[in-house]
A and B are shown apart, each in its own frame.
With several copies, the nearest count.
Chain A
Amino acid sequence: MTSPADSAGLGSPAGRYRMLRLIRGFEELALDLVRSGAITGGIHPYIGQEAVAVGVCAALRPQDRITSTHRGHGHVLAKGAAPDRLLAELLGRTSGLNQGRGGSMHAADFSLGILGANGIVGAGGPIAVGAAWSARQAGEDRVAVAFFGDGALNQGVLLESFNLAAMWQLPVLFVCENNGYATTLPAATAVAGSATGRAAAFGIPAAEVDGMDTEAVRSAATEAVTRARGGGGPGFLECRTYRFEGHHTMERLMKLHYRTAEEIADWREHDPLPRAAALLPDGLAAKLDASVREQLAAAEQFALGSEHPDPERALDHLYADGLRPRAGSTA
């Protein structure tokens, strides 16, 4: 098992590029494993949106906390989770981050401040607000970040949490990854007004940023995080981005026509990876690519070689106090 990188690894352009590549490579590998049937249930691939996770997490300290979404692999990796253990989680192995109990949509690593991906759109927002409140209560200068999509902008609980964060000036950064769609629904037909306007109406400083540009995201996030850490209250970032793949791997089996091939091709022109690679000295990107390939090959080997959980232990951890619930049959 490799030791987890921490978010400090994102301090240099090279570190950030490497993380972009790691996420991209991880997702490609996961797609293969979904296709082969090794990963049950499929995933929501993050490919195309890597600059958001990397740019934001580059603005964080290891003790800061995040909440993530159904499309969470990028956030979890960028915050420092071990790719091999994340992959093992996707494969449902005991060496997984969650011992195979959570899978893609619930990957978490509390030791790194990763309070979990979440299967319910918008749910992570107020949880991050709670973490921010906690930090202030404990007298710690930890910041919390909530990642969510454009779809979540229409979830009441998220809007409620904007109000609480603003009212109480909590150290939380709301990061909206606007990839233009909630599954098949275009944001333009779903979000009245603007994302930033919505946050601003609660008195939250809100900025829009090119979500395909890691450095732009990082600088906007750094500004907001610095303000929040200093007691200046919450911030909101709308990162304009795009997912290159379908909403979920299931989509590959369906004929859906909600996006045109041209639109996808256009956005691929803005791929965050070449953009980040261009900032590096000649040849470095290729070297980093190679090291990521190795890391992922090792991760795959680790994960595929890990144990499947024992069905007898299916109810482990249902209660934190160890309470054993009654079985489903007495016969």
Chain B
Amino acid sequence: MRLSYTKALNRALTDALAEDPAVCVFGEDIGAGMAGPTLNLLDRFGPGRIVDTPLSEQAFTSMAIGAALTGRRPVIEFQIPSLLFLVFEQLVNQAHKFSLMTGGQTGVPLTCLVPGSGSRDGWAGQHSDHPYSLFAHAGMKTVVPATPTDAYGLLRSAIADPDPVIVFAPAAALPVRETVTWELAPIPLGCARIHREGTDVTVVAVGHLVHDALAVAEELAPEISVEVFDPRTLHPFDWPALAASLERTGRLVVIDDSNRSCGIGAEVLATAAEEMRLVAPPRRITRPDGTVLPFAPQLDRALQPHRDQLRRALRAVMK
């Protein structure tokens, strides 16, 4: 079977809805399936569970929290990553805090899905952020799948999780297709995936950049043996797997499409520097500090991490 990333998300939602009557979906234009992941859900599961919402992100996010506190397992689809800014209070100050603040009386099994995070060429400054590091800092479970199989499996686990989870589906990963010969299945949160083994350098690549890392690793294979490490979940991060990888390689490059300062790239470098084996100074490739993506495509692209930077960084850590 040929499986696209978007179709994988669609399947995950369909299977979760079919399996558990408590699962329901909120979002804008989801009845029409406009963004892809919710295609045909309304027909199959009806407006009682697939809820096309007015443009009231704050209220419907809080509503979903209220629903999650009372037995439902809501999924919210957000049309643009910056809508997460609009509901930051609801997610970080409410959903994330209920469990501890109530002394464990409740979880908040809420899933937020952002199909098309990061730059989509030509959508400009307010539609092109990749704010996953913000949620890792706040402590929400944060997932960025790179492949269709992972997208399926991680979204299933997110929906089944008793805590709020946010799933970023990078716009640049949506075109990825896979030939799937196995049964799709949930993939546990918090487990990294090593896409390619190597002995010289560990490249930690986030989301769509996994594919760039793999391409560069192939290309430089004659020169450098690169291990490609996909954390898949940014919080909780699979630190033991990273430590094991660095035991083998001792060298680290991170490629991460979020802003530089206080991004997940910083976290990986910091933790590695503090606790793991490094034989050379580590490197990271990120967006610049405080990036706002300009509209013009050349400018937009110039600020995203690219392969050439990765090549240079790999050669630099090998020196």
Q: Determine whether A and B are in direct contact in the complex, meaning some CB atoms lie less than 8 angstroms apart.
A: yes
Q: Which of B173-181, B200-208, B219-227, B309-317 contacts A (4 or more CB under 8 A)?
A: B309-317
Interface residues on B, range: 35 or more
Q: Which residue of B lies closest to A308 (CB)?
A: B298
Q: Out of B28, B102, B291, which one reaches A110, CB within 8 Å?
A: B102
Cross-chain contact A134 with B299 (CB below 8 angstroms): no
Instruction: Fill in one digit per residue for B46-60: 1 if any A CB lies within 8 Å of its CB, else 0.
Output: 001100111110111
| Bound CA–CA A318/B107 (angstroms) | 10
The A interface, classified by DSSP as helix, strand, loop or mixed, is loop
Q: Which of A5-13, A151-159, A285-293 contacts B (4 or more CB under 8 A)?
A: A151-159
How many A residues face the partner with a CB closer than 8 A?
89
Is A261 on the interface with B (CB-CB < 8 A)? no
Cross-chain contact B56 with A106 (CB below 8 angstroms): no
B63 neighbours in A (Cβ, 8 Å): 126-127, 129-130, 133, 161, 164
Is A92 on the interface with B (CB-CB < 8 A)? yes
Kindly provide the distance from the CB of B64 to the nearest chain A CB, expressed in whole angstroms. 6
| Bound CA–CA A109/B121 (angstroms) | 23
B291 neighbours in A (Cβ, 8 Å): 315, 318, 325, 328
Q: Which residue of A lies closest to B126 (CB)?
A: A119
Interface residues of B in 149-190 (CB under 8 A from A): 161-163, 190
| Bound CA–CA A119/B54 (angstroms) | 17
Instruction: Fill in one digit per residue for B287-299: 1 if any A CB lies within 8 Å of its CB, else 0.
Output: 1111110111111
Cross-chain contact B107 with A156 (CB below 8 angstroms): no
Cross-chain contact B103 with A99 (CB below 8 angstroms): yes
Kindly provide the distance from the CB of B298 to the nearest chain A CB, expressed in whole angstroms. 5
Q: Which residue of B lies closest to A185 (CB)?
A: B52
Cross-chain contact A160 with B295 (CB below 8 angstroms): no
Cross-chain contact A100 with B62 (CB below 8 angstroms): no
* Given A123-B89, A309-B299, 13 additional A-B pairs, CB 8 A: A98-B295, A100-B296, A101-B295, A110-B102, A116-B102, A130-B69, A132-B66, A160-B56, A161-B56, A163-B56, A318-B290, A323-B163, A329-B284
Top 5 A-B residue pairs of the complex, sorted by shortest distance between their CB atoms: A41-B122, A130-B66, A320-B107, A103-B295, A99-B103
A-B contact list, 7 entries, CB within 8 Å: A102-B124, A131-B66, A131-B70, A134-B66, A134-B70, A160-B60, A328-B303
